């Protein structure tokens, strides 16, 4: 683990290669899993406020789910997550392209200029998962078999996971933090 400011960074973010390959995975992370995408407490209102803007890109089932439950619910562990269309179904905010690729309706609305909220930071940071510890925030690399194409693509392009996630890391922690992370990577690599 590497300490940067108030974070503990897993070296997996340097060792593992990752570049999303939507052509291969078809956005499976938006439709698979045990619950919705984690939502920070400070994001709950932002997700709720983005619902109307996202509706033109959402499925009928997604719209029905958010109208019934809202955009954010608590899962069985008590964590805030995006609403699903069914108990183990797709995220309510999923948008399907003509070839069946799942994308984020909130992000589509953001790109169209209809909301300033991009999407939950947990989605933007994936495969980084944040863990709140007593004095630190842990940045851990999450391995999920559905992301095997992203690992293959990242390996071919030689892009470490942290570098692929530059925009998301800057969004969450700021550019000075990312520059420190990049310097830590450079030093880590020189020692290998």
Query: How do residues 17-64 score in pLDDT, each as one tens digit?
Result: 999 999 999 999 999 888 899 999 999 999 999 999 999 999 999 999
- State yes or no: cis peptide before 127, omega within 30 of 0: yes
CA-angle at 130, arms to 171 and 37, nearest 5°? 85
Do 37 and 97 lie in one domain? The reply is yes
Instruction: Quote the CA–CA distance of 1 and 68 in Å, as a whole number.
Output: 43
* Mean pLDDT across 146-162: 96
CA distance 93 to 83: 8
Residues 150 and 87 reside in one and the same domain = no
Instruction: Quote the pLDDT of residue 34.
Output: 82
d(CA 140, CA 137): 10
Residue 36 domain boundaries: 27-119
Domain boundary (59, 89, 119) is at 119
Same domain, 87 and 136: no
CA distance 153 to 26: 14
Number of domains comprising the chain: 2
Tokens 């996630």, residue located: 165
Using pLDDT thresholds of 50, 70 and 90, give the confidence band for residue 11.
very high
Q: Which of 76-90, 102-116, 165-179 has the lowest mean pLDDT?
A: 76-90
């Amino acid at each position: 683990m590497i300490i940067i400011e108030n974070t503990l960074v897993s070296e997996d973010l340097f060792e593992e290669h990752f570049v999303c390959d939507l052509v291969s995975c078809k956005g499976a992370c938006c439709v698979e899993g045990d619950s919705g995408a984690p939502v920070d407490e400070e994001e709950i209102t932002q997700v709720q406020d983005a619902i109307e803007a996202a509706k033109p890109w959402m499925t009928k089932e997604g719209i029905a789910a958010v109208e019934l439950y809202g955009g954010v619910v608590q899962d069985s562990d008590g964590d805030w997550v995006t609403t699903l269309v069914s108990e183990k179904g797709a995220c309510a905010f999923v948008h399907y392209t003509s070839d069946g690729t799942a994308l984020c309706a909130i992000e589509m609305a953001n790109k169209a200029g209809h909301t300033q909220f991009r999407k939950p930071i947990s989605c933007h940071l994936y495969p980084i998962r944040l863990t709140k510890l007593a004095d630190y925030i842990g940045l851990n690399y999450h391995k999920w078999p559905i992301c095997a194409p992203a690992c293959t693509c990242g390996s071919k392009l030689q892009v470490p996971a942290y570098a692929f996630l530059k925009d998301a890391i800057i969004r969450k922690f700021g550019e000075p933090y990312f520059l420190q992370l990049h310097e830590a990577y450079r030093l880590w690599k020189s020692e290998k």
